[in-house]
């Protein structure tokens, strides 16, 4: 009804509704019920968590916010203390910051510095470019890991999935070309078909690990 298109795939929402549990039928044509219950929520109201931003200069409140911090939807941090900001500025001005960050990425995996540097660049992202002709080039970086079995490719993916503010890890049939955008799934109890958003929709603005 009125809730159609209120929330889109990938939105962070708070839901008000009625929590229901319905027994599963082993066969839709028979009345026999299983001792297993499907749980779902009858949604009455969605509240979207809007994007918030906070910009605080480091030293002087009247100075230009050279080191302004912007928080986006999905970030776990809502505010940063001045001490933490100074620490970040000192880190940024260190000449060996690239090597420090590389060593801090998946520290349980030894060596593989070149691979970690590529993943680090992907996590920070590239620069979006707009041309006078009106065309735009997106700055997202894609990383393809190829290697022998047992060279910790999946472990690196899992680490990226954990530290990215919005990260989705997908494997199997969900990682096919069509399954990444959307897939058609049959409901086991009602036997009806419905459309489920894929990893690319849910992780919009984040990192997809396939």
Q: How confident is the model at residue 44, as a pLDDT?
A: 92
| 115 vs 9 pLDDT, higher one | 115
Determine which of 110-114, 120-124, 135-139, 185-189 has the lowest per-residue pLDDT on average. Answer: 185-189
Distances (CA, A) of 77 to 52, 53, 82, 95, 175: 11, 11, 14, 27, 30
Task: Quote the distance between the C-alpha of residue 78 and its chain's center.
Answer: 17
Question: Alpha helices of the chain — where are they, by DSSP H?
Answer: 82-93, 97-104, 113-124, 153-163, 199-202
Predicted TM-score of the model (pTM): 0.59
Three-state DSSP state, 88 = helix
**Better pLDDT: 133 or 75:** 133
pLDDT band at 59 (very low <50, low <70, confident <90, very high): very low
Kindly indicate the confidence band of residue 63, based on its pLDDT and cuts at 50, 70 and 90.
Answer: very low
Contact (CB, 8 A) for 81 and 65: no
Which pLDDT does position 77 carry in this prediction?
56
């Amino acid at each position: 009804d009125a809730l159609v298109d209120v929330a889109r795939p990938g939105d962070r929402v708070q839901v008000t509704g009625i929590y229901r549990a319905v027994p599963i039928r082993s066969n839709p044509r028979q009345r026999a019920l299983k001792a297993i219950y499907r749980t779902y929520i009858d949604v009455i109201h969605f509240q979207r968590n809007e994007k918030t931003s906070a910009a605080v200069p480091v030293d002087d409140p009247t100075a230009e916010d050279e080191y302004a911090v912007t928080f986006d939807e999905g970030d776990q941090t809502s505010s940063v203390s001045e001490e933490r900001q100074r620490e970040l500025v000192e880190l940024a001005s260190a000449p060996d910051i690239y090597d420090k960050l590389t060593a801090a990425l998946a520290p349980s995996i030894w060596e593989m510095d070149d691979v970690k540097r590529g993943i680090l660049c992907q996590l920070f992202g590239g620069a979006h470019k707009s041309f006078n002709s009106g065309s735009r080039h997106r700055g997202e970086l894609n990383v393809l890991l190829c290697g022998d079995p047992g060279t910790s490719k999946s472990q690196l993916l899992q680490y990226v999935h954990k530290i990215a503010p919005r990260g989705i890890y997908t494997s199997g049939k969900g990682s096919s070309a069509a399954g990444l955008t959307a897939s058609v799934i049959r409901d086991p109890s009602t036997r009806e078909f419905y459309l489920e958003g894929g990893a690319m929709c849910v992780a919009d603005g984040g990192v997809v690990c396939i």
